[in-house]
Amino acid sequence: MIDYEKIAAAIAKYSPLVASGISEMNPVLGTVLMAITRAFNTDIPSLPSVITADPDALSKIKSIEDQYHDDLIKYQVQDREDARNRELKLVQLTGKRDWVLDVIAFIVILGFFVMCTTVEFTHMDSSDHDVLYMLAGQMTAGFMMVLSYYFGSSNKQ
């Protein structure tokens, strides 16, 4: 079994864009993955360790990013549009909005602000603060996803 998450994690420190093309199933996954295996002259399961050990990993991955940049960006834009189009089609078919997404978005936003307040005003033992900060990081990521969905991306490409 290929662990795409480990491969993406090894690549993410050099190119988050290329890592995003590997971390989930998408149309560019196979092409980018084959380019990476050719660049590092290894098989797919060995990629994480080979990338980590290669001193030229940055230049190799940046070269792949340059080569497939347009395809990777196009996939990300298409993915966002698909999510928004799904909601538009649902409204056209049923005549009403999907309130579940709005409720989830509200809960995430409320949770983000509750977590920020908790981190700011609650004194915790040093043994517990790591878990709280990890939860705060997850809430921040969820908050950013909600903002990206409802207000578009900050990536204007």
Q: What is the pTM of this model?
A: 0.49
Determine the pLDDT at residue 1. 64
Determine the pLDDT at residue 157. 45
Q: Measured between alpha carbons, how far is residue 104 from residues 97, 110, 111, 131, 143 in Å? A: 14, 10, 10, 23, 11
DSSP summary character for residue 95? S
Residues in Cβ contact with 136 at an 8 Å cutoff, skipping those fewer than 6 apart: 115, 116, 119
Q: Residue 154: is its pLDDT beyond 60?
A: no
Determine the pLDDT at residue 147. 83
- pLDDT tens-digit map of 55-82: 999 999 999 888 888 888 887 777 667 7
User: So where are the chain's domains?
Assistant: 1-94, 98-157
Task: In whole angstroms, give the CA distance from residue 103 to residue 115.
Answer: 18
Determine the pLDDT at residue 25. 66
